[in-house]
Chains A and B, each alone.
Chain A
Amino acid sequence: MSTDSQKTPKTPMVLEFKSSTFSVPVLVVASDDLAVIEQQLQEKTSLAPEFFKNSPVVLDLQEINKRGYDIDIVALTDTIRKAGLLPVGIRGGNVQQNKQALELLIPVYSMHSGSVSVENKKQKTIVPVIETKTDVDVGIETDATATTLITQPIRSGQRIYAAGDLVILSQVSAGAEIMAEGNIHVYNILRGRALAGVRGNSEARIFCFDLQAELISIAGNYKISEDLDESVRNKPVQIYLQDQALIIKDIVLPH
């Protein structure tokens, strides 16, 4: 369609600036070794290729600068693009890095107050940390230590990812998928798939009021619905990992 500007003397407004908030994963880079970054990125993205494919990402350089490393932004963004991610901004960079980013047409964001510092002692020294990745369905705060609370039903086809613990008050339908790097609590019927400790935390647990799940998993150890014992089905249970085996145990509710 074309606008006929001759007919209408005044062209109607075709542009509008709107303010909108997006939830974008932040990649905290803590090394200047591009080879290591590339390798670890590859490992991360291969865990969930569809999840990361063409995902926008903001690069957090605070850690790298704190450690006194210097990194070439051009080479770094190249590496990240190679892994299938699309850098859409940097933050925590120094003057030189900010300048380089702008030359690459990558916006510079300020570290807003109460910035997310990833203090994770369990992590090895050099890890590009992917703090969070949210599905389009439900936006989640990008704080690895935060608990994500969800009150509306999780319907079939919806996916929820929480960087910390995930607490759900409503039902999780069959065909839905909930994932958390920490624990999962479902104070309702759990019919979909629930994956706790998705980044390898074997201490993570799943708690639910009524177990009817299609699949449950902790740190990659999973059970499908068919493998669930009838004695735990439709019951309030907790699920945890012991010697690489999933243990499903009744939670006895007070009456």
Chain B
Amino acid sequence: MARIIVVTSGKGGVGKTTTSAAIAMGLAKKGHKTAVIDFDVGLRNLDLIMGCERRVVYDFVNVINGEATLNQALIRDKNCNLLYILPASQTRDKEALSQEGVGRVLDELKKDFKYIVCDSPAGIEKGAHLAMYFADDAFVVTNPEVSSVRDSDRMLGILASKSYRAEQNLEPIKEYLLLTRYSPERVKLGEMLSVEDVQDILSLHLLGVIPESKSVLNASNSGTPVILDEKSDAGQAYGDIVARYLGENRPHRFIDDQKGFFRKFFGSK
């Protein structure tokens, strides 16, 4: 059975698209045929992060409107042939999305794909609502600061009450917490909420912590999902998250200050 995963947060700029790209790539690399959809119609970003912006011909809205078939619009990833991207339209707005249309596209994708990752736009309006409406699992991306945590809490409330699963009284959406841009050093200084603080407020299953890392920006700029940078801490953290999601038991990393021995000696940052 295909599973629909929504990557959501409420707040903008917390790393939804980075996460969507990374976990979609991670799932595909593990041998699962995966599609990733950009729901941020009007502000497309996913294709840039996935490095396929030059190959966009048709988009999600075209498929919904019947102007292109799904196969015409899906872009096969250059790094992994099990990964496909359905880009957002830059020229339309979120009003172009309809519940019926989104449902139709997802149903069609479900026939062929194991995982469908929906990259939600920020906010709680139509685009975000439609991105999560049909989801089976939700990855709630949160930064360790109060406003992001509050917005995630709001989004969790919406997931629990306004989704298809909630409306049909089905088993609720499975919710997972992803804490991004985490810096143990700043937590120590009291500048950031700790994992425990966030867990205390959201009481949610922690899927993983992604450390604040230069590699994320580098990956975005070069158009390769950060999970492919296996040497980087963020890449490894996403690798752990995908493995845990698929049922592997991996201990959490990047939570404590692991300033290494060499760094202590040489004082590099």
Contacts and interface: CB of A to CB of B under 8 A. Distances in A.
B29 interface: no
A155 interface: yes
B158 interface: yes
Contacts, number: 39
Contacts of B172: 152
B150 A153 contact: no
B221 interface: no
B44 interface: no
A152 B160 contact: yes
A176 B157 contact: yes
A175 B150 CA distance: 8
Contacts of B150: 156, 174-175
20 contacts: A136-B161, A137-B157, A152-B160, A153-B156, A153-B203, A154-B157, A155-B153, A155-B156, A155-B160, A156-B153, A156-B157, A157-B154, A157-B157, A157-B158, A171-B203, A173-B153, A175-B150, A175-B153, A175-B154, A191-B201
B59 to A, nearest CB: 18
Contacts of A221: none
Interface string A166-191: 00001101111000000000000001
Interface of A: 136-138, 152-158, 170-171, 173-176, 191
B161 A173 contact: no
A158 B203 contact: no
Contacts of A157: 154, 157-158
A158 B153 CA distance: 10
Interface in B152-184: 153-154, 156-158, 160-161, 172
Nearest to B157: A155
A114 B157 CA distance: 33
User: Is chain A's interface secondary structure helix, strand, loop, or mixed overall?
Assistant: loop
Contacts of B151: 156
A137 B153 contact: no
A176 B202 CA distance: 13
The 5 closest A-B pairs by CB, nearest first: A155-B157, A156-B153, A156-B154, A158-B157, A137-B161
A175 B124 CA distance: 15
A170 B203 CA distance: 10
Nearest to A21: B169
Contacts of A158: 157, 161
Interface string B198-228: 0001010000000000000000000000000
A28 B160 CA distance: 32
B34 to A, nearest CB: 29
B138 to A, nearest CB: 12
A2 B125 CA distance: 27
Nearest to A154: B157
Contacts of A138: 161
A153 B161 CA distance: 11
Contacts of B156: 153, 155
A87 B158 CA distance: 28
A120 B83 CA distance: 64
A138 to B, nearest CB: 7
Given A153-B156, A173-B153, A191-B201, 13 more contacts: A136-B161, A137-B161, A152-B160, A153-B160, A153-B203, A155-B154, A155-B156, A155-B157, A156-B151, A156-B154, A157-B158, A158-B161, A174-B153
